Amino acid sequence: MNHSQNIPFLDLVTPHVELEQELTAVFQQVIRTAGFIGGPMVETFEKEFAAFCHTERAVAVNSGTDALRFALMAAGVKKGDVVVTVPNTFIATTEAISQAGALPEFVDIDERTYNMDATKLREYLESHCTVSEEGKLISKRSKRPVTAIVPVHLYGQMADMDAILELAEQYRLLVVEDACQAHGAEYFSRKQNRWFQAGSMGRAGAFSFYPGKNLGACGEGGAITTNDARLADTCKMIRDHGQAKKYYHDIEGYNGRLDSIQAGILSVKLKHLAGWNAKRRERAAEYNRLFAASEGGVRTPYEPSWSRAVYHLYVVRTEDREGMMAHLGKSGIGTGIHYPIPLHRQRAYESLGYKVGDFPVTEKVASEIVSLPMFPNLTADQQGRVVNEVARFLQTALATTK
Ligand SMILES: *Cc1c(COP(=O)(O)O)cnc(C)c1O
C-alpha cells in the first residue's frame, strides 16, 4: 500500500478508461452516420433506462435541470403556482421550479435521512396553507396556489415516499421526484408491500447524467421517467421546440435534446450501473464498519429498513467540519460539502424572504456535513486511511479542547 498516494473525492478516469474501446466505438458509429441528434441511439437508451427504472417511458433530455423543468411543465405546473421542496438540495431543484414559472417554498428535512420530513410537509399543508372558496390550496406566505411537491432523493437515498404520496393524494398535489442523485435507489412501500425504483413513484421522475452522477454521460444529459404516456409525449415536444412534427409547433418549447453520442455512451455505461451501485453499497458498509470500530466521533449515514440507497455521496457529520476537512486535505484526501449554504440562505433567493432559523434542521446539518471519497472502485485500503485520518483528527481535537 502506498501511503503517499492521494485519495481523490471521486475517480472519473478509471471507469472511462476501462470502457474506452466501447465508448470510442459509439463515437465512430455516430460520426460515420452523422446522426448527431435524436435517432435510434436516443430511442434505444430511452427504452433501456425506462426498463431500468421500472417505468413505461423515459424521455432523454440535455440535463437534469431540464428534466425537472420539463416534467413540472408537462405535469401541469403553471405560472404563479407554488411548488414545495426542501432547502437542503442543489440549486437546480429550485431553478427548475422557477423556470417552470412557479415559486419554490420550503419544508425542513429529517435530521437522520437529510431528506424531506413528511411531518413538516403535513404541518406546512395544514397550518401554512388555507383552502380558497374555489377549493384551491393557497399558501399563506405567497397567497398563491400550491400545486406540486418535489421530494429530492438526496445523496442516493429516496425520501419517505409513502408518507409524501399520501399527503399529495389528500391535498391533490402533483409529485415530481428529483432523482438526479438516485439512479437505481429503491424504496419499500409499506402501503403497497413492494419495492419501487427511484423515479417510478411520482407522476414523473427527473434524472441527471452529469459526469459525476451514478450514471454519467461524457458531457451533459438527463431524463424524465414516467408511467404517463401523455406526459412523456409532452416532454418530447417541450425538448424539441414544441413540435411533434417538424415545423408544426403546438406550443413553444426549448432546445433540450440529448446528443446521440451521449445516448450511446449512456447505453454502454447503463449495463454497469447495477454493479457500480452494488459496489457503492459495499463501500458504504465498509465505512460504517470502520467508523463503528474507531469509536465514533462522526455520525455515519442512516439507512432506514425501507430504503436501499445507492450512495451517490457518503456523507458524515461532525462539529468541527472545517477542521476535519483541512486535516484530510493535508493528508491528500479529497472531500466535499453537499451543500454548505441552504437554498433559503442563498442570495438568489433573498426575495423569497426566508430568514435564519426558518429551517433549523437544514441549517444545523449544513454546518456539519462532509462528503468523504465515494466511488465504485474505492479500495478498502483507501477507506482504512480515510477513517484513520478522521480518527487522528478527532483525537487531536479532543486533546486540545481538554
Ligand atoms: C445534479 C442535480 C441536478 C441537476 O442536474 P444537471 O444535469 O446538472 O442539470 C438537480 N438536482 C439534484 C439534486 C442534483 O444533484
Tens of pLDDT along the chain (402 residues)?
445 589 999 999 999 999 999 999 999 999 999 999 999 999 999 999 999 999 999 999 999 999 999 999 999 999 999 999 999 999 999 999 999 999 999 999 999 999 999 999 999 999 999 999 999 999 999 999 999 999 999 999 999 999 999 999 999 999 999 999 999 999 999 999 999 999 999 999 999 999 999 999 999 999 999 999 999 999 999 999 999 899 999 999 999 999 999 999 999 999 999 999 999 999 999 999 999 998 768 999 999 999 999 999 999 999 999 999 999 999 999 999 999 999 999 999 999 999 999 999 999 999 999 999 999 999 999 999 999 999 999 988 777 765
Instruction: Report which protein residue has its CA nearest ligand 1's atom 10.
Output: 92
Name the phi and psi angles at 250, rounded to 5. -75, -30
CA–centroid distance, 170 to ligand 1, in Å, is 29
CA–centroid distance, 137 to ligand 1, in Å, is 29
What residue type is 262 in one-letter code? Q
Three-class SS of residue 79? Answer: coil
Instruction: Report which protein residue has its CA nearest ligand 1's atom 6.
Output: 64
pTM of the model: 0.97
CA–centroid distance, 152 to ligand 1, in Å, is 10
Domains of the chain, earliest start first: 13-268 (3.40.640.10), 273-401 (3.90.1150.10)
Protein residues with CB under 6 Å of any ligand 1 atom: 63-65, 89-90, 92-93, 152, 178, 180-181, 208, 210, 222
C-alpha to C-alpha distances, 286 to 36, 275, 279, 293, nearest whole angstrom: 42, 17, 10, 11
CA–centroid distance, 256 to ligand 1, in Å, is 15
Q: What DSSP designation does 351 have?
A: G
Write out the E strands in 191-318.
194-197, 204-208, 222-226, 243-245, 248-249, 307-308, 314-317
Q: Is 2 exposed, middle or buried (0-12, 13-18, 19+ CB in 10 A)?
A: exposed
